[in-house]
């Protein structure tokens, strides 16, 4: 008998635990040319803002030895265009839809949460790595007090499960995780990209136009696993794990650390089929180890006890 790979997450059934990470999959149109998007557990769409955004000027992508730096700047058509055009397209497929929202003020998060709550999206993911323009540009997600303020406010407007995406660019991610949980988050996703920089030694200029960008890809996997492991011990709500996942083994590692769902991102750029390969790899692991249900992996790391 084949193992079960379905997952119940925040009361919503996912056919498998593999979703796509926001910012790496657009709205699925390009990837639909490679395979049926119904094969995915879910799609987390490109980050949405209240109004259309052109993004940052180029260059805004730079390769690194084990990943990429990006400073795309949340290029997107705006939440209204997503609801009228992109969401109906994705809903043709039998997969869950997670709408990622980004704002520069608390009212912007609330506005988008309210609009998406009245749509066919299944879950709202809050990207709190954005600069709070009313707090001098400090990112919402780097201060526990600001996290409580923005999450508790958005919670009042969200009728959907609310997932808060955590930034790794903090001193204590567990403090931030607890603040989000206390403010009413239904789940957490982590990690977002790690701040990094490359310099062209010939021109002596930064490779990216905005000087710094977010590092993603295989290099961040150990950091993501560590932070997920720590957060799993700090909160009671479910977690989505992401950061450097390329294989079924990577995904299993993330699940053992505490993830219920896993998100594939940067790996899709070099191999569009990666999410399905990860899904199949998880199933193969379960069969090899005679595990009947993928949910048995969540947080099942066997720690050393000194």
pLDDT digits (tens, 9 = 90+) for 224-245: 999 999 999 999 999 999 999 9
- Mean pLDDT over the full length of the chain: 96
Q: Is the pLDDT confidence value at 297 over 80?
A: yes
pLDDT digits (tens, 9 = 90+) for 92-107: 999 999 999 999 999 9
pLDDT of res. 135:
72
Q: Whole-structure pTM over 0.85, yes or no? A: yes
Tokens 């450097």 — which residue?
A: 244
Q: Sort strands 194-196 and 213-216 into parallel, antiparallel or unpaired.
A: antiparallel
pLDDT of res. 134:
73
Which residue segments constitute the domains of the chain, with CATH numbers given? 7-297 (3.20.20.70)
HEC readout, the chain: CCCECCEEECCEEECCCEEECCCCCCCCCCHHHCCCHHHCCEEECCCECCCCECCCCCCCEEEECCEEEECCCCCECCHHHHHHHHHHHHCCCCCEEEEEEECCCHHHHHHHHHHHHCCCCCEEEEECCCECHHHCCCEHHHCHHHHHHHHHHHHCCCCCCEEEECCCCCCCHHHHHHHHHHCCCCEEEECCCEEECCEECCCCEECCCCCCEEEECHHHHHHHHHHHHHHHHHCCCCEEEECCCCCHHHHHHHHHHCCCEEEECCHHHHCCCHHHHHHHHHHHHHHHCCCCEHHHHCCCCCCCCC
Mean pLDDT along residues 30-58: 97
pLDDT digits (tens, 9 = 90+) for 236-275: 999 999 999 999 999 999 999 999 999 999 999 999 999 9
% of the chain surpassing 70 pLDDT: 99
Mean pLDDT along residues 194-221: 96
pLDDT band at 164 (very low <50, low <70, confident <90, very high): very high
- List the catalytic residue out of 110, 130, 268, 298: 130
Mean pLDDT along residues 29-37: 98
Q: How many CA atoms lie within 13 A of 282 on its CB side?
A: 34
Mean pLDDT along residues 128-140: 79
Q: Sort strands 162-165 and 123-127 into parallel, antiparallel or unpaired.
A: parallel
Residue 298 annotated among the catalytic residues of the structure: no
Sign of CA dihedral 120, 239, 3, 281: positive
Mean pLDDT along residues 154-167: 98
Q: Is the peptide bond before 59 cis (omega within 30 degrees of 0)?
A: yes
% of the chain surpassing 90 pLDDT: 95
């Amino acid at each position: 008998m084949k193992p079960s790979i379905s997952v119940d997450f925040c009361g919503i059934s996912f056919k498998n635990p593999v979703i796509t990470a926001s910012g790496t999959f657009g709205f699925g149109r390009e990837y639909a040319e490679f395979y049926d998007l119904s094969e995915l557990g879910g799609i987390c769409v490109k980050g949405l803002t209240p109004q259309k955004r052109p993004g940052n000027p180029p260059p805004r992508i730079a390769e690194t030895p084990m990943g990429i730096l990006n400073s795309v700047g949340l290029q997107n058509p705006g939440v209204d265009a997503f609801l009228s055009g992109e969401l109906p397209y994705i809903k043709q497929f039998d997969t869950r839809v997670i709408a990622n929202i980004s704002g520069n003020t608390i009212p912007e998060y609330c506005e988008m949460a309210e609009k998406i709550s009245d749509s066919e999206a299944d879950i709202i993911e809050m990207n709190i790595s954005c600069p709070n323009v009313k707090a001098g540009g400090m990112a919402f997600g780097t201060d526990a007090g600001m996290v409580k303020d923005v999450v508790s406010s958005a919670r009042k407007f969200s009728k959907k499960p609310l997932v808060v995406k955590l930034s790794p660019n903090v001193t204590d991610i567990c403090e931030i995780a607890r603040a989000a949980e206390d403010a009413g988050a239904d789940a957490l996703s982590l990690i977002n990209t790690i701040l990094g920089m490359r310099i062209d030694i010939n021109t002596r200029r930064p490779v990216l136009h905005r000087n710094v960008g977010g590092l993603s890809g295989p290099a961040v996997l150990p950091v993501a696993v560590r932070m997920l492991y720590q957060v799993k011990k700090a909160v009671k709500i479910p977690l989505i794990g992401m950061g450097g996942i390329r294989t079924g083994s990577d995904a299993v590692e993330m699940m053992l650390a505490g993830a219920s769902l896993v998100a594939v991102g940067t790996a899709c750029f070099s191999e569009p089929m990666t999410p399905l390969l990860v899904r199949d790899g998880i199933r193969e692991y379960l069969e090899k180890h005679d595990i009947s249900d993928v949910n048995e992996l969540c947080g099942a790391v066997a720690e050393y006890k000194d």
